[in-house]
Amino acid sequence: MVDWSLLVFALVCAAAMTWVVRQIALRNRLLDIPVDRSAHRTPTPVGGGVAIVIPFYLMAGYYFGQGLIPPNEFIALLSGIAVAAVGLADDVTQLSIRWRLPVQFAAAIWAVWWLGDVSVIPIIGWNLAFPPLLYILTVLALVWLLNLYNFMDGIDGLASTEASFVTLMTCLIVLNSSDQVVTLLSALLCAATIGFLLWNWPPARIFLGDTGSSFLGYCLGLLALFSMQHGSMNLWAWLLLLGFFVVDATYTLIQRIRDGRRWYVGHDTHAYQHAAKRFKSHRKVTLGILLINLLWLAPLAWLANLFPPLGLLITVVGLAPLVFLVKYFGAGRPHSIDIESA
């Protein structure tokens, strides 16, 4: 059972730590300085993800000590510290991608190794159950998800709101199952992220930075693996919960590659970035995506989890309109000069 007092503690701790991290960042000039492609116009403290990472691992360690998290899953979960650490180093020193990627792949390989079995993927009456391929796809998916999440952290409150939504929905979906681990960890991550969101809601007073965005994406990936291994959720439910982020980031990446642009450099061509400029509001876009999540993607994710054989079909139905939506808002279309950030 979820201990609500511990969740409140995690939320308050994250909110308080965000204030502390903000003060440290201001004193040490650890700021995100606006450039041509930036969505903000005022230098803003960065690295706020630390305030999510620390409470999350403190409480996860407590749950592990209580015997509520199996040793192999807790060890796999610890790989997120490496992801957060390299993200923090990037926030401070602007690490090249050739330094970040090896650490990210090492963390993903470590997690998959300790988890052992990788769940088969049901595809309309057929199961993808070839272990070597599944292991490779799982590692690639973890690395892609953490980078995808980093790409989508470009306007105030969006990435932290998305994480809050996904973890809350995960809690609700698995609540009546026997999946205690995913219930506890998703509730904990939700509480810590909401604590940070109090400071990150538009207009943001601090940013997640690579520390937080990479960690959140990676952690959501681990929760997906845990739930799939436990049988409480399937791949299709996760793809739908993360639907807007998956579609916007993937469509934009493909479009930039097709146009011969360097996909690994900073840019402002995601659909949500175009929308923020069109509506001149981060809050409207963040709330709009949250409404899509709540009214469209969440019900479909529940259905896909309830009827696994129809999961692929439900996922296609759920994501197809989002493809047209991000195309309408110009995903991948140049808006300003790309600036090297890798």
> Confidence class of residue 309 from pLDDT cuts 50, 70 and 90?
confident
Q: What's the pTM?
A: 0.94
Average pLDDT over residues 321-334: 94
Whether the link from the prior residue into 321 is cis, omega within 30° of 0, is no
Look at residue 75 in the predicted model and tell me its pLDDT: 98
Task: Evaluate whether residue 337 is within a structural domain.
Answer: no
On the question of pLDDT at 46 being above 80, the answer is yes
Task: Evaluate whether residue 298 is within a structural domain.
Answer: no
> Confidence class of residue 55 from pLDDT cuts 50, 70 and 90?
very high
Residue 277: count of CB within 10 angstroms of its CB: 17
Give the C-alpha separation, 216 to 80, whole Å.
9
Identify any residues that bridge with 121 across adjacent strands, giving them in sequence order: 128
Look at residue 324 in the predicted model and tell me its pLDDT: 97
Give the C-alpha separation, 242 to 315, whole Å.
11
Average pLDDT over residues 291-296: 98
**Structure confidence by residue, pLDDT tens digits, 3-23:** 889 999 999 999 999 999 999
Look at residue 124 in the predicted model and tell me its pLDDT: 63
Look at residue 1 in the predicted model and tell me its pLDDT: 66
> Confidence class of residue 38 from pLDDT cuts 50, 70 and 90?
low
**Structure confidence by residue, pLDDT tens digits, 165-212:** 999 999 999 988 889 999 999 999 999 999 999 999 999 999 999 999
**Structure confidence by residue, pLDDT tens digits, 231-258:** 999 999 999 999 999 999 999 999 998 9
Sole residue written with tokens 């749950």: 63
Closest among 233, 243, 119 to 174, alpha carbons compared: 233
Task: Evaluate whether residue 10 is within a structural domain.
Answer: yes
Contact between 124 and 309 (Cβ < 8 Å): yes
Of 184 and 122, the one with more pLDDT: 184
Task: Evaluate whether residue 223 is within a structural domain.
Answer: yes
Task: Evaluate whether residue 242 is within a structural domain.
Answer: no
> Confidence class of residue 2 from pLDDT cuts 50, 70 and 90?
confident
Domain count, the chain: 1
Alpha helical stretches, state H, the chain:
4-27, 50-65, 71-77, 79-93, 97-115, 131-151, 158-174, 180-200, 209-230, 235-241, 243-258, 271-279, 282-292, 298-306, 311-328
Helix, strand or coil, per DSSP, at residue 292: helix
On the question of pLDDT at 288 being above 70, the answer is yes
Give backbone dihedrals phi and psi of 75, rounded to 5 degrees, phi first: -65, -40
Q: What is the mean pLDDT of the chain?
A: 92
The Cα angle at residue 240 between residues 63 and 236, in degrees rounded to 5: 80
On the question of pLDDT at 91 being above 80, the answer is yes
Task: Evaluate whether residue 161 is within a structural domain.
Answer: yes
Give the C-alpha separation, 110 to 104, whole Å.
10
Interstrand relation of 44-45 and 121-123 (parallel, antiparallel or unpaired): unpaired
On the question of pLDDT at 266 being above 90, the answer is no
On the question of pLDDT at 230 being above 50, the answer is yes
Look at residue 339 in the predicted model and tell me its pLDDT: 35
> Confidence class of residue 340 from pLDDT cuts 50, 70 and 90?
very low
Give the C-alpha separation, 269 to 65, whole Å.
45
Average pLDDT over residues 99-112: 96
- Going from the C-alpha of 86 to that of each of 21, 97, 177, 213, the distances in angstroms are 17, 10, 35, 12
> Confidence class of residue 125 from pLDDT cuts 50, 70 and 90?
low
Look at residue 42 in the predicted model and tell me its pLDDT: 87
Task: Evaluate whether residue 222 is within a structural domain.
Answer: yes
> Confidence class of residue 103 from pLDDT cuts 50, 70 and 90?
very high
Of 259 and 212, the one with more pLDDT: 212
Average pLDDT over residues 131-144: 91
Domain with 177, as residue range(s), is 4-235
Task: Evaluate whether residue 87 is within a structural domain.
Answer: yes
